[in-house]
Amino acid sequence: MKPDTIIELNHGAGGSLMDTFLKSLLGIYQTKSIGGGIGVDELDDGATIPLSGNQTLIISSDSHTIDPIFFPGGDLGMLAAVGTINDVVMMGAKPIAITCALLIEEGTIYSTVEKILSSFAQVCEENNVAIIAGDTKVLPKGQVDRMYMSTTGIGLRQSPNIIGDNQIKVGDKIILTGPAGLHGASLIARREGINLQTELESDVAPLVKMLLPIAETGAVHAMKDPTRGGLGSALNEFAEKSGVGLLLEEEHIPIHPEVNGICELLGLDIYSLSSEGKAIMAVEAEKADDILKEICKDPSGQEARIIGEAIDKYHGKVVMRTTIGGHRLLRKSLGEPIPRVC
Amino acid sequence: MKPDTIIELNHGAGGSLMDTFLKSLLGIYQTKSIGGGIGVDELDDGATIPLSGNQTLIISSDSHTIDPIFFPGGDLGMLAAVGTINDVVMMGAKPIAITCALLIEEGTIYSTVEKILSSFAQVCEENNVAIIAGDTKVLPKGQVDRMYMSTTGIGLRQSPNIIGDNQIKVGDKIILTGPAGLHGASLIARREGINLQTELESDVAPLVKMLLPIAETGAVHAMKDPTRGGLGSALNEFAEKSGVGLLLEEEHIPIHPEVNGICELLGLDIYSLSSEGKAIMAVEAEKADDILKEICKDPSGQEARIIGEAIDKYHGKVVMRTTIGGHRLLRKSLGEPIPRVC
């Protein structure tokens, strides 16, 4: 990027502008991985550090700056814990510990901080994740918007199989574990003051119990939670990094009618809206049906579907067979339609 | 803390108000350590996770929000790398990797981000620390002040000896590796526009090469870098956590005349000013002189001194024998005189 480029919101919104920005930033760093593990260059959900005895350590870092800090279906604390825990799970690892650095705006009421951290602690406790370290900074009024949380998740993977965005093989089936875009749509609805007949809520939820046993079988080649940039960005990353084409069946992609309605009303691309409790998975074809059955047993996986497959064509691209029988390219979104969704 | 307490700057400034705040926050968390390691409750420089084969993993998290982001002697990127690397070293571990989550204000010029991250990368590279993971968020104008960095350092300790704030034994000598308060004083001077005859600079510097070989000998019982809250807070934590008294010789504490001058001019307590490239260490008495000699060989350790010892009296307190022969209690400061020094 040119030195005098002005950083815009879309440079952090999960789309193609962010890709350009991140590539520039990563060019500044020098040593970016350790012991042959996955490093920051891979832009995966986390990094890996090989340990002795076939163990792998997983490290995943995130900042959470969602606005508003209390939203339908969750709050900042819940999102911070879920987001980081899920990133560790997406690498096929059991999350064991988390750290939490808080930025708090001067003038915030203690009970607000207490509520947010209680949510954070509850998610961690329910998923057997210890909160082992942290940092707390209070900033002058106006230099932070109420409260941000930066978290680092630590996980251990015992199995030697590698799960990574670049591990997808031709023939793999693509599973989406539930309806797309609920988190993003619920936040937009809330901010735009759209009054819906049913209460649309964020899908923020940890995926440890649903996905970790499946990931440990070795049949999962890649997993990703479609957060910033939504399904469009996540699927394109799969295709680009693995060098395969992805052919999707649009009619198989689970979408809630309320989310559809909001997208039509506001002219939004549903595939750019984020989820915070869903995963896309590339799995061995012959095991796909069994895996789908397992996922559907989980309360938050009941609407999971096989939405497509990896093919030896359209390499690095995502192509959607539309409901009217045509084909269209699903591009990475330019950015999330609204910032601060995560 | 009462639910309706309004969070003030001093709740994050490293002194006794911060202690109260942190105790409340830690009361919200449930599982706070893992496998018998040091957890968040200990408020040490980092947490430990015991691994197989006598290895220990060290994890340390920090947010860096310094204002201004370019200051005499360094910048935000340098501070973020140094601060986190030093925290890992303070636990007696070799820093191997770091993660970096960026919060950037919309409208920031790319070259600013580039400069900051170049400093960050340079410190990491010089200390053999790989930048393995990260996150980048761009926030709307006014919701972050230019740029904050949240970092997590990962270290490995091979030796079985424990270094921790609670490991100090009566008779241990206390070493300070150089003059106190340079970082805090230089920032105050810059902000207050004080024109000094000599250019006072932050002491921000990594301590890996100077202190890691010494820490690995087993003769160091506790180490701490006196950042937020300065020497007063760090020494009081030593005394409280180890249950010993600390008797200091005021005339042995190295202080630069410029720092003294600024403190007199502005009525500041020098022992509340932060350092970013110094350590206090509690070491075995009979090895103290040898350790001091080793430290003095390092360019940034030439002014190191033995400043006192741990005694079986004044338990949990820090007492200073003043230059005029009296004794006074060195209390934990209420907070850093200025916020956003780290």
What ipTM did this prediction achieve? 0.94
- For the cut 80, the answer to whether the pLDDT of residue A207 exceeds it is yes
Residue carrying the six token digits 């995963």: A279
- For the cut 90, the answer to whether the pLDDT of residue B135 exceeds it is yes
Longest dimension (CA), chain B: 57
Of A11, A103, A125, the CB nearest to B148: A103
Q: What is the pLDDT of residue A260?
A: 93
Cis peptide before A68 (omega within 30 of 0): yes
What single letter denotes the amino acid at residue B296?
C
- For the cut 80, the answer to whether the pLDDT of residue B197 exceeds it is no
**B184-211: average pLDDT:** 87
Q: What is the pLDDT of residue B340?
A: 77
| CA gap A294, A298 in Å, rounded | 7
* Partner B contacted by A117 (CB < 8 A): yes
Instruction: Find out whether A332 and A15 touch, Cβ atoms under 8 Å.
Output: yes
**B51-75: average pLDDT:** 93
Of A30, A49, A117, the CB nearest to B121: A30
Q: Do A340 and B101 make contact, defined as CB atoms within 8 angstroms?
A: no
Q: What is the pLDDT of residue B191?
A: 83
Q: What is the pLDDT of residue A13?
A: 82
Q: Do B136 and A21 make contact, defined as CB atoms within 8 angstroms?
A: yes
Cis peptide before B50 (omega within 30 of 0): no
Q: Count Cβ–Cβ pairs < 8 Å, chain A vs chain B.
A: 294
Q: Give me Rg for the CA atoms of chain A.
A: 19
**A44-66: average pLDDT:** 92
* Partner A contacted by B324 (CB < 8 A): no
pLDDT > 90: percent of chain A: 81
- For the cut 80, the answer to whether the pLDDT of residue A14 exceeds it is no
Q: How far is A69 from chain B (nearest CA, A)?
A: 13
Q: Which helix (H) or strand (E) holds B184?
A: helix B182-192
What single letter denotes the amino acid at residue A253?
I
Chain B residue numbers with beta carbons less than 8 Å from the beta carbon of A119 are none
* Partner B contacted by A235 (CB < 8 A): no
* Partner A contacted by B6 (CB < 8 A): yes
Chain B residue numbers with beta carbons less than 8 Å from the beta carbon of A94 are none
Whether domain B173-329 has CATH 3.90.650.10: the reply is: yes
- The Cβ of residue A313 has, within 10 Å, a number of other Cβ atoms equal to 10
Q: Are strands B56-64 and B74-75 parallel, antiparallel or unpaired?
A: unpaired
Tokens of A11: 């440079």
Q: How far is A170 from chain B (nearest CA, A)?
A: 28
- For the cut 80, the answer to whether the pLDDT of residue A338 exceeds it is no
CA B67 to chain centre: 17
Count of residues making up chain B: 342
Residue carrying the six token digits 């709050």: A75
Q: What is the pLDDT of residue A275?
A: 96
**pLDDT class for A197, splitting at 50, 70, 90?**
low
SS3 content of chain B, % helix, strand, coil (to 5): 35, 25, 40
**B77-85: average pLDDT:** 98
**pLDDT class for B160, splitting at 50, 70, 90?**
low
Q: Which helix (H) or strand (E) holds B97?
A: strand B94-105
Q: What is the pLDDT of residue B336?
A: 66
- For the cut 70, the answer to whether the pLDDT of residue B196 exceeds it is no
Chain B residue numbers with beta carbons less than 8 Å from the beta carbon of A132 are 32-34, 37, 39-40, 47, 49, 59
- For the cut 80, the answer to whether the pLDDT of residue A335 exceeds it is no
Q: Do A135 and B61 make contact, defined as CB atoms within 8 angstroms?
A: yes
Q: Do A99 and B59 make contact, defined as CB atoms within 8 angstroms?
A: yes
Q: What is the pLDDT of residue B101?
A: 97
Q: Edge-to-edge, what's the strand order for the sheet holding B56-64?
A: B47-50, B56-64, B147-157, B94-105, B130-139
- The Cβ of residue B68 has, within 10 Å, a number of other Cβ atoms equal to 14
Q: What is the pLDDT of residue B150?
A: 97
- Summarize pLDDT for B215-270 with one digit per residue, the tens: 999 999 999 999 989 999 999 999 999 999 999 999 999 999 999 999 998 889 99
- For the cut 80, the answer to whether the pLDDT of residue A339 exceeds it is no
Helix or strand or coil: residue B55?
coil
The CATH homologous superfamily to which domain B40-157 belongs is: PurM-like, N-terminal domain (3.30.1330.10)
**A206-218: average pLDDT:** 95
Closest CA to A99 of B51, B136, B276, B48: B48
Tokens of B151: 């970092």
What single letter denotes the amino acid at residue A311?
I
- Summarize pLDDT for B87-107 with one digit per residue, the tens: 999 999 999 999 999 999 999
Interface of A with B in 52-81 (CB under 8 A): 52-53, 55, 57, 59-63, 65, 67
**Domains of chain B by residue range:** 40-157, 173-329
- Angle at which helix B110-126 crosses helix A16-28, to 10 degrees, equals 40
Chain A residue numbers with beta carbons less than 8 Å from the beta carbon of B150 are 61, 63, 101, 135, 150
**pLDDT class for B17, splitting at 50, 70, 90?**
confident
Residue-wise burial string across B165-198, b where 16 or more C-beta atoms lie within 10 A, e elsewhere: bbbbeeebbbbbbbbbbbbbbbbbbbeeeeeeee
**B312-320: average pLDDT:** 97
Closest CA to B215 of B281, B129, B154: B281
Of B8, B134, B137, the CB nearest to A106: B8
* Partner B contacted by A31 (CB < 8 A): yes
A18-22, A103-107, B124-128, B330-334: least confident range: B330-334
| CA gap A297, A301 in Å, rounded | 7
For residue A149, report the phi and psi dihedrals to the nearest 5 degrees: -130, 130
Instruction: Find out whether A203 and A178 touch, Cβ atoms under 8 Å.
Output: yes
H, E, C per residue of chain A: CCCCCECCHHHHCCCHHHHHHHHHHHHHCCCCCCCCCCCHHHCCCCEEEECCCCCEEEEEEEEECCCCCEECCEEHHHHHHHHHHHHHHHCCCEEEEEEEEEEEECCCEHHHHHHHHHHHHHHHHHCCCEEEEEEEEEECCCCECCEEEEEEEEEEECCCCCCCCCCCCCCCEEEECCCCCHHHHHHHHHHHCCCCCCCCCCCCCCCHHHHHHHHCCCCEEEEECCCCCHHHHHHHHHHHHHCCEEEEEHHHCCCCHHHHHHHHHHCCCHHHCCCCCCCEEEECHHHHHHHHHHHHHCHHHCCCEEEEEEECCCCCCEEEECCCCCEEECCCCCCCCCCCCC
**Which chain B residue's Cα is nearest to A116?**
B28
C-alpha distances out from residue B170 to A108, A202, B331, Å: 43, 56, 20
Q: What is the pLDDT of residue A226?
A: 95
Interface of B with A in 126-145 (CB under 8 A): 128-140, 142-145
Q: Do A138 and B8 make contact, defined as CB atoms within 8 angstroms?
A: yes
Q: How far is B250 from chain A (nearest CA, A)?
A: 31
Q: What is the pLDDT of residue A133?
A: 96
What single letter denotes the amino acid at residue B123?
V
Q: What is the pLDDT of residue B212?
A: 95
- The mean pLDDT value of chain B amounts to 93
CA B270 to chain centre: 15
Q: What is the pLDDT of residue A336?
A: 66
With a CB cutoff of 8 Å and minimum separation 6, the contacts of A189 are A72, A196, A200, A258, A262
